[in-house]
Structure formats: C-alpha cells, structure tokens
A and B are shown apart, each in its own frame.
Chain A
C-alpha cells in the first residue's frame, strides 16, 4: 500500500477569492488614514490640481514599484529597476541634443531599451540559471554604467513636448492622475487575461503550473520584460516631469520599490498580491513624505515613519493571518 503525500502548500490567507481580502483592506485602511491625515494638515490639497501635483511626485516610485511587483509575483526580485530608470531617464534628456526633432522615435528607443534590459534580466534568470537577486544585482551596475555613458552628469533637458504633455491636463484632469488611472486599468486588464493567471500560478506553485502545461520560462521572461518596460516608463516620466535628468538617481528607488510592494501586501514569495495594492503602498509612502514636508519636520521623521510602517504592515499581516488560520482549524 502506498500513501499520498499531502502536497506541501504554503499557508494561504483566509480568502484568496477575488475581491477584497483582509490584506487588501488593511492596505486601503492605511492609505485612507494617511490621506485623511494629509488632508487635515493641508486642506488645500483637496483639489484636483494639488492632487495631480502630489501624484506627479509619486509616479516614478509608483511605476518602479509596479515593475517590482511583476517580478515579485513570479517569485523573483529585480534590483535593476533603478538602473533601467536612469538609462531611459538619460536617453530622454539627451535626445533633443542628439537627434533634434525626431520625437516619435524617442519613445520607441527608450522603451526598446527597457524591453532589452528586462529581457537581459530574464535571460540571465531563466536561461542561465542565475538567482534573480544576483542577476539583477549585476545588471543594476551595468545599467548604471550605461546611464553614465549617456549622461555623465546631472542635466540635459527633455523634449518640451514631453514635459508639456506630462505636466498638463487632459480634459481638465491633471495628466498624472490620468496616467495613474491608466496604470490601474492596464493592470486590471492584464490580471483578467490568461497571462495574468499564468503569472499567479507560476508564483504560487511553479512546479504545478508546469505540470498543467504552463510555459513557465516564457512567462517569467515576459514578466521581466514587462518590469523593464515599466521601469523605462518611470525614467521617461521623471525626465519629462522634472525637466532634467540624473544618472545616479535610481539607487534610492530600488529598495523603496521593494518597500512599497511589501507595504501594499504582495508577498515576496510570489503568487499573492498585485499592482493595485502596490500602488496603494507607493502612495502611502509618498503621503508620509508629503505630511512630513508639510509639517516641516526633519527628514529623519519620514525615514523612520516609512521603516516603521513597513515593519508594522508585515507584522500585522502575519499576526492577523495566524489568528484567522487558527480560527479556521
């Protein structure tokens, strides 16, 4: 006689059903609290233009955190998002100087770089078997070097058309809000697609996903490419919004993007969470900065608050998850 080995599954949150799990609720609650706090300190924030400005400062982090989310969902990590960011940032601000008016190609080239860099990461991980941490550690340095080659010092200027587009309004709504909404919509579409489901399956249980016919390596490769694309967008956006570029500005974003992902509730093990939650996490971090700035507190307060929030969210989730699991058995 033989036994059936109960499959070794990771503990799952009480409800993984589509819709709002308690984890989502916590994230939203924290965001709500921070919004309320910021509004009460700066009531002037309550109009579209001001909100648009706030989101404008948040978007680079949001986009980088989105990139990170994709990779984390399939069980990896991408330390090179900061590198991709500075490369496209550099490309955008040097474009006019080098190519004059061929603006339409700027996007193609910059995004093309994003795809290529993402693909490089993907190939290192999927084809050559590097651990994601190590592969992206290496490519981070390489991409930083590439950015420095393109833009040796801070400066440059993006095509005015781009800046205008990004800083302006669309039908009375600040572009930044439109872009943020676009990100969320794009995510929901992806999530509902077959590819989206494959992503989660691979992150949740790679071997079983493979047994079910999922081309695991292809899925992972695509995920890294998407991450590269998002990080590229971040760099382009920052260049346009700040009207200037910096070849070294990406490093700080890397670990912050991971923090945003974790605060939002996406699990570093993969298979759980999503971009919507990460956006909330990134906005939470941005709001902390905004509050600290508004209250004229020292920088250390925002660093401390962000770190404390990070820890609090993780520990809270663990405790609540354990309590709920105990209630079930």
Chain B
C-alpha cells in the first residue's frame, strides 16, 4: 500500500466526518446563499466551539474506554461558580483558574470512582452529575439573585479578532494541542491502548487507572471552561444550560468516527462531529421544519453519520475486548483487576 494510501486509510473515518460536514454545508448554501455569509459562519463556529469544549474531555474519556455523563453539570457549574466568585469580589482571571481547578478536582473524583472504586463510569459520572446538580440547586436557593456573568467570559465568547471570533481561535489552538496530545505523545498512545484492550495495556506496563483518571480530569477542566464560555455567550447562567451538551458531546465524538467502546478515534474527528452537528442544526430550520421534524431528522442524521464513519459499531469480527465475549457497553469497563 502506498504511503499516502495508508495514511488516508488510517484517517478514513475522520475524513468521512469532514466530508459529511462539507456535504451538509453545501446543501445549506445551495438552499440559501446566505448560509455561507460571514455572520452565519461565525455563529456556527461559535456554537460548534461550545460543543467542541464539551466534547473534548468526552473524546479522551471515551477513547480510554469510559464515559462522562457529568459534562452538562460541569458546564452549568462553570458559569454559575464563576459568576458567584466574581460577585463576591474574586478577580475574574483568578476566578476562571479556580473554576477550572475545581473542574479538574471533580474530574479526578470521577476518575478515582471509575477506576479504584470500580464504579461503572456511567454510574459514577451520573451520580457525580447529580451531586453537582444538587450543589447548583442549593447555591441557587441561597444566593440573593442570579449573579451576572463576569465580563471576561462575555468577552471571550463575543469578541472578534478581525472577522474571526476569538473563541474559534481559542478552540483551534486547543484542538491542535489536543490533537498533539492524542496523536504524538506517549500519553495519547496509552489512552488508545487502554481503550482498546485494557488488559493488554496493563500487562504492557501502562498504568491504566492513572491514564483513565487523567482523562476524566481533563474532561472536568474542558467542560468547566466550556461552561464559562457558554455562560458568557448567553449572558446569564441557569441550571439547565448544559443539558443539550450531554447528547451532543457524545454524538460529536461518535459522528467523528471514534468508537464508543474506546481505542479508536481522534479529537480532529470530534471537531468534525461538532461542526457537522452545528451545521445540521443551522441547516434544518432553513427547510421550514418545525421543532418536531427537526428532532427526527437530527436523530436520523446522527445514526447515518455514525454509520458512515464507523463510529458506533463493532469492528466487524475483531474482538477488541478481553474477558470473554460479553456484549460490552461503553462506560461499563471492567477495570484491570488482578483477578482478570
């Protein structure tokens, strides 16, 4: 196989995902040329970046064989907590750092629960999300009024550098960094190995638990950050602000070609997934579909997209998992316990 041919084959699913994005975009442009206007593209980029941040951690967590259902709550937390800190006098920059640090802490708890405590990731992150939700509800009750979102967040979300939204640039930089992390570092390799076959990974000297804990920590940070930006854009914070992002973060990852079981995928694929979903959301209203039909088409396209990029399906015949032929589901990793 030629080198170029090989390179293409390896990235086939990512390329498919971008092809899907492009195809949808073209459909939009054909339908109404305004689709390709500056403001239209800008808005899509901004929205896609929100998905992108929510899905960044999700990508890593899923790659390593887990799942993070606490993303939407972390996002809500990001905005709420930053606003609270600002309202009580914390300088904005420090506030951002603190919030992200707490996000990392929550992620660490998720990771520890899902690895050392052997709680299935679905359950651990679900419970953690619930606890964050409880905190947000309590805080909402106790504070006097909805705190305003500090200008740092608003600026981040709305400023532009020339025609390009700042947040898109930030996203691009982070995407490049994440791509390097996943593709060019030992950590990235370890993540892939852990997700594909954690037993073999452990026996190859990879500290599987640590790898997974780090992925959850990164997810905590990225989601908290995403929440800050989201709050800045929306201009206010509320409990359910992150709710749509649970679904979309996972969808972006699998539409981008990653396997929900782990071991396969890149963040660039997720970026394509995020773009696809955003373009799709912008596209559908053009056809005068009501909310109901929108949902239906959305779901169908997700399934098609996943199918096209091979993201949601078993790699035909190849047993990627150890420990027998049980039907494996994502986030139900069995951990590399010594008894395995």
Contacts and interface: CB of A to CB of B under 8 A. Distances in A.
Interface of A: 7-11, 74-77, 124, 128-135, 137-149, 152, 203-208, 255, 258-259, 262, 268-271, 298-301, 303-304, 306-308, 310-311, 314-315, 318
A263 B280 CA distance: 38
A148 B329 contact: no
Interface stretch (B2-10, B99-107, B173-181, B320-328): B320-328
B172 interface: no
B226 interface: no
Contacts of A307: 126-131, 133-134
27 contacts: A8-B324, A11-B339, A76-B329, A124-B303, A129-B316, A130-B306, A130-B312, A131-B330, A137-B247, A142-B300, A143-B299, A145-B291, A145-B296, A146-B296, A147-B292, A148-B291, A149-B293, A152-B291, A206-B326, A255-B126, A258-B123, A268-B123, A300-B135, A310-B127, A311-B119, A318-B118, A318-B119
Contacts of B138: 298, 300
A129 B261 CA distance: 13
B117 interface: yes
A173 to B, nearest CB: 34
B122 A75 contact: no
Interface string B310-340: 0111101000001111111111101000010
Contact of B117 (A203, A306, A315): A315
B323 A10 contact: yes
The winner among A8, A124, A143 for most chain B CB atoms within 10 A is A8
Contacts of B296: 141-142, 145-146, 149
Contacts of B314: 129, 131
A304 B332 CA distance: 23
Contacts of A8: 322-324
B233 to A, nearest CB: 23
B300 A138 contact: yes
B292 A148 contact: yes
Contact of B324 (A7, A268, A315, A318): A7
Contacts of B61: none
A138 B311 CA distance: 13
Contacts of B294: 145
Contacts of B171: none
A304 B123 CA distance: 14
B292 A306 contact: no
Contacts of A9: 324
A270 B326 contact: yes
Given A298-B137, A304-B134, A315 B292 contact: no
A134 B260 contact: yes
Nearest to B260: A131
Nearest to B254: A134
A304 B293 contact: no
Given A141-B302, A258-B122, A303 B260 contact: no
Given A207-B324, A300-B138, A307-B128, 19 more contacts: A8-B323, A76-B329, A128-B313, A131-B261, A131-B312, A137-B250, A142-B299, A145-B298, A148-B292, A148-B295, A149-B293, A152-B290, A205-B325, A207-B325, A259-B126, A262-B120, A268-B120, A315-B119, A318-B119
Contacts of B136: 300
Given A134-B254, A148-B295, A269 B127 contact: no
Contacts of A149: 292-293, 296
A205 B326 CA distance: 6
B69 interface: yes
Nearest to A304: B134
A140 B323 CA distance: 31
A75 B247 contact: no
Contacts of B290: 148, 152
Given A8-B323, A142-B295, A269-B334, A131 B247 contact: no
Nearest to B130: A307
B106 to A, nearest CB: 13
Contacts of B326: 10, 75, 204-206, 269-271
A314 B133 CA distance: 20
A145 B295 contact: yes
Contacts of A137: 247, 250-251, 302
B329 A206 contact: no
Nearest to A322: B118
Contacts of A139: 299, 303
A194 to B, nearest CB: 21
Contacts of A130: 303, 306-307, 312-313
Contacts of A206: 325-327
A304 to B, nearest CB: 4
7 nearest A-B residue pairs (beta carbon): A145-B295, A307-B130, A141-B299, A134-B312, A148-B292, A75-B327, A145-B296
Contacts of A143: 299
